[in-house]
Amino acid sequence: MDQVVQKPAEIPGYTLAITAESLYLLNLLAIPGLAFLILLWLFFKYENSSPLLGACHLRQTFSASIWAGVLLLLVNGVIFAVGGYQTPYTWVIAVLYFTICHTTLVLLGLLGLAKAIAGQSFHYPLIGPTC
């Protein structure tokens, strides 16, 4: 396999790309809010000054994180505000909505991370800017 492929790790912006995707996932899974703050900080610090690959993943995850917040918190808030806590259907809709939505977002993050590790760019469908 002596093809001349550039090793992913040598592409400029590689580490930043992986960091961005990891933070996106951490924000969804382990430390919501905190991970987003770090991502926010990275975004303002490096968005314009980093190599293409890093900047792309940074913009994607930043935008996707904001959408994630809106989709998960706001919409669920609305579901309960409209339905109330007392009827079972509110719970069914909230549980289903949250599970499906959250899972989709996490799955996209996993695909993004797999792209970052491969040194390739990734576009979050609908919720990511073009880059």
Residues in contact with another protein by CB under 8 A are 1, 3, 5, 7-9, 14-15, 18, 25, 88, 91-92, 95-96, 99-100, 103, 106-107, 110-111, 113-115, 117-120
Work out how close the CB of 44 gets to another protein at its nearest, in angstroms, rounded to a whole number.
Answer: 25
- Packing angle, helices 14-29 and 88-117, rounded to 10: 170
Q: Which is nearer to another protein, 67 or 91 (CB)?
A: 91
Judged by beta carbon, residue 7 or residue 81, the one nearer another protein is 7
Q: CB 38 → another protein: shortest distance, Å? A: 19
Burial degree of 55 (CB within 10 A; 0-12, 13-18, 19+):
buried
Cβ 123 to another protein shortest distance, Å: 14
